[in-house]
Amino acid sequence: MRLPRLIGTARVMDMLLTGRVHDAAAGHALGISQYLVDDGTGRAKALELAHRIASNAPLSNFAIVQALPRIADAPTSIGYLTEALVAAAAATGDEAKSRVQAFLDKRAAKVTRA
């Protein structure tokens, strides 16, 4: 269900009917994967990403993982409503409040590029 949405029905049909497989570079170019790393560095990249994600507020991670796919599939008006409700709920958590206060007090870490 997800793959045709990512790369298109025609490409998936080609893969299924012909047995065609894509190497890592082609899969990345098609949008099957988010990252392309050198041989032997996949575990290190996965751990780096896991640490970055784990440093987020847990309620924010939950909202992103649970709500974002539903928002993307919803009609625009429902998506906007859902986004607003989820953002409001995520902002009420104690960790979110302390992070906003840290930002206001200029104690927050700077956002860096990945």
Closest CA to 36 of 48, 47, 26: 26
Residue 41 lies in a domain: no
Same domain as 67, residue 15: no
Question: What is the band of 102 on the pLDDT scale with cuts at 50, 70, 90?
Answer: confident
Residue 14's domain comprises: 1-36
Same domain as 89, residue 62: yes
User: Quick one: residue 56, left, alpha or beta (phi over 0 = left, psi -120 to 50 = alpha)?
Assistant: beta
User: What pLDDT score was predicted for residue 35?
Assistant: 96
Q: What is the pTM of this model?
A: 0.69
Question: What is the band of 101 on the pLDDT scale with cuts at 50, 70, 90?
Answer: confident
Same domain as 31, residue 62: no
